[in-house]
Amino acid sequence: NGNLPVHSVSWQSANAYCEWRSKRDKRTYTLPTRWEREKAAGGGDRRRFSWGDLPLPALANCWNQCLAEERGLKETEAFPYDKSPLGLLGCCGGLAEFTSTPYAGGKGVVILGGRWNARVQDCGIRAAAALAPDAVRDWMGVRICHHP
């Protein structure tokens, strides 16, 4: 489905894409840092979710949002309330996202955000975990940054 977000790629593949696209477009593209991703998802304030502070499962594509047979990745536009103050969709549900920030202790890279197979309580803007750079998961996605 061409309307689904980019998913099931490794951090290494995502970085390789950024390098390729940077050369092609003669512009700089990278994965966001943890700070850039948190600011884009929350608009710079301390809200817990893109829509505010209450964990409301109906507003994002997360595990307790729908019946078991309906779970899985969906089009980002299907959840219009999962929208940051800066206009980014899918910040707290659907896919967790890679960042360029190393995880403390050198155990991979920081991933942020919620995903379709996590409870809404675990899908906040600053919900962080580590993932190995070569790992590929169907609940991991990519959002890239353009640096002028």
d(CA 69, CA 145): 34
pLDDT tens digits along 76-100: 888 899 999 999 999 998 999 999 9
pLDDT tens digits along 110-132: 999 989 899 888 999 999 999 99
- Please enumerate in sequence order all residues whose Cβ is within 8 A of that of 46, keeping only pairs 6 or more positions apart, or say none: none
